[in-house]
Amino acid sequence: MTRYEVSVEKDACDGIFACLTRDPRFVEGEDGLATIDPNADPIYDCEGDVTDTPERVVAAFDDDRIDEARQAAAACPTDAIVVEEVGE
């Protein structure tokens, strides 16, 4: 499976939450901006490593759901979300 990273740039996020409807791992954070919670998806038992700093949220996954993450990134009107493959 492909390993990939999903990052949310907090300065660019406006809290529009178009990403939430494309990928349930995206949730509203305490700061009112989008964040990533691998445990938020009630359908999949998802695991991922999440780092949350004042500048960005970065999550690494090695599942087959990269297309959902890409759809969430494409739906973001402020281009705050980036999805990158980082290996196999």
Write the pLDDT tens digit of every residue in 25-54.
999 999 999 999 988 877 776 677 899 999
pLDDT at 31: 93
- Is residue 73 predicted with pLDDT exceeding 90? yes
| CATH number of the domain where residue 50 is located | 3.30.70.20
Judge whether 62 and 1 are in contact, CB under 8 Å. Answer: yes
- Is residue 71 predicted with pLDDT exceeding 80? yes
pLDDT at 2: 79
Domain that holds residue 11: 3-87
Total domains in the fold of the chain: 1
* Alpha carbons 57 and 7: distance in angstroms, whole number: 5
pTM of the model: 0.90
pLDDT at 23: 95
